[in-house]
Structure 1
Amino acid sequence: MHRSTEETPLTGGNVSAGVVRAGDTVRRPTGPWTPAVHALLTHLHAVGYHAAPRPLGIDERGREVLTFAPGATLWPDRMGLLDPADRLAHLARLIRDYHDAVADFTPPPDADWRPIIPVENPDIIAHHDLAPWNLVVDEPTDTWTIIDWDGAGPGTRLWDLAYAARGFVQLTANPAYRHPDRLAAARLRTFVDAYRLDEPDRRALVPLLTTRTRAMHDFLRDQAALGAEPWATHWRTGHGDAWRSDAAYVEERTALWTAALLD
């Protein structure tokens, strides 16, 4: 049991309602998925993967308690931290290390995950939202922490990697964040090389870049039709249009990505 101290609302993640900092901890609302997520995070720390919060139990108000990650998220104002190729490669290795660390994780028999988009033939417990708004970087200590694990659940390495590439490599139609095509292709190669993806999976990743991006548009569209929050608000504020434009951008450059990854 953890008693609360003075609390400060946190807004770093994509869905942050009810998330607060209390001392060196974060307090978040729980759900049916919380025991499984805590088991996952406990496993990661037990095998030496520390780029994720550590679960500390439940407080007197029924909220989960996690270690606080100092720093700030990359999105939207600190994307330049990934401009150097070595920093982008460092992040790709961090994701690969997570996928390797979770490979021998055995979920609790009653695990109740909540990934927002089901994935066929899962091979790992994936994060499902590896994105700039869920990466906290503390520049003075060069500590990188992936946050917002509530959406973790059965998935695949490539599903996670395709989504991460869209956000971190910045495969986007948005001119404020888009790199010139040749640079975008080179950054994708850097990212995939650092992840150590083999040739068959590189071939599989290229079309998945489009599929994964379009899946987010379709998910938001369907959830908005149901009035489900926070997705309906995201749809009303233009997130769906952004995902659709990005899917078109990625698909139009399929040959470029293929050449970059396989030549």
Structure 2
Amino acid sequence: MSGGNVSAGVVRVGDTVRRPSGPWTPAVHALLTHLYEVGYRAAPRPLGTDDQGREVLTFVPGDVVWPDRFALLDAERRLADVARLIRDFHEAVRGFTPPPDAQWQVLVPAEGGDIIAHQDLAPWNLVAGDEGQWAFIDWDTAGPGSRLWDVAYAMHGFVPLSAHPDWRRADAASRLRVFADAYGLDEAERRHTVPLLGRRTRAMHDFLRDRAAQGVQPWATLWAEGHGDAWRGDAEYIEQREDEWVRALLAG
């Protein structure tokens, strides 16, 4: 199965997905169970583990948005739908109390810690269903974080805020405003989010650089393929245009 950057060993069995488990799995399952119990349906439901020790999750029907179906998000109403889906998750997770022995797989340490965040809210983890049911997958790197850290990362991916000629958009600033409005950011949050956009993007470059230097897969391969350069280029593009993002988000 595809989606995210780590799909080795992930298989579909009937209406379930089986994937390798880790020390973080019980905490992630507790999170997903909470989301299901409070009515959030844009995430898979955990079903325990199988006889091979793999975690078992409900299968989310549809196609991963990135890259072949990314054009779905050209429509501002779809971009707004994604922002609201993220806001609904952040509202749903507020009442979650992690297990006392919770372990999390933290890849990129977050700034702030007001929630248990997804940490990878991106087009490669969004499944678009044929009947309008959209959901986020790959929750295995969820962990302590902040709403705005999650939002800044999501804005980079979904607007997108990219320097790459294939993805760079002339209307990035207006789309950033659409996302912020749909999510419901207030003025103080908008001001705080703008500098986070560059820092969160650059944190991905630094993560890949450091893991590649240690020879850790799949990050070393992604670094060798130029993903680090892409994240650095996007970070520079975002940082150079902070004034533009401020004007877009704070326009009357």
Q: Name the TM tier (shorter chain).
A: over 0.9
Q: CA RMSD in A?
A: 0.7
Contact 2:46 2:58 (C-alpha < 8 Å) held by counterparts: yes
- Conserved 8 A contact 1:14-1:134: no
Tell me the TM-score normalised to structure 2 length: 0.98
Give the superposition deviation at 1:117.
Answer: 1.2
Task: State the shift of 1:102 in Å.
Answer: 0.3
Over 3 Å off, 4+ runs: none
Deviation at 1:106, TM superposition (A): 0.1
Q: Please state whether the residue corresponding to 2:51 is helix, strand or coil.
A: coil
Question: Is 1:158 aligned with 2:127?
Answer: no
Q: How do 1:70-81 and structure 2 match up within 5 A?
A: 70-81=61-72
Q: Name the residue aligned to 1:4.
A: none
Structure-1 residue corresponding to 2:80: 89
TM-score by length of 1: 0.94
Q: Which of 240, 243, 254 is the aligned partner of 2:228?
A: 240
Q: Secondary structure at the match of 2:159?
A: helix
Is 1:57 paired with 2:37? no
State how 1:1-20 maps to structure 2 within 5 Å: 10-20=1-11
Aligned partners of 1:25, 1:178: CA distance in 2, in Å? 36
Cα deviation 1:77-104 (Å, max 9, x = unaligned): 1111011111100110000000010011
SS at match of 1:125: strand
Query: Using the alignment, how far apart are the partners of 1:189 and 1:56 within structure 2?
Result: 38
1:118 and 2:109 are equivalent in the alignment: yes
Greater Cα offset, 114-123 or 142-151: 114-123
- In the TM superposition, 1:114-263 aligns within 5 A as 114-139=105-130, 141-180=131-170, 183-263=171-251
Output the amino acid matched with 1:249. Y
Structure 2: which 5+ residue stretches go unaligned?
A: none
Shift of 1:120: 4.0
- State the identity %: 67
Distance 1:134 1:257 in 2: 25
For structure 1, which runs of at least 5 residues remain unmatched after alignment? 1-9
What aligned pairs does 1:93-108 form with structure 2 within 5 A after superposition?
93-108=84-99
Pairs aligned (count): 251
Distance 2:135 2:59 in 1: 10
Partners of 1:15 and 1:230 lie apart in 2 by: 7
- Report the AA paired with residue 154 of structure 1: P
Q: Distance in 2 between matches of 1:247 and 1:225?
A: 20
Q: Distance in 2 between matches of 1:120 and 1:179?
A: 28
SS in 2 for 1:170: coil
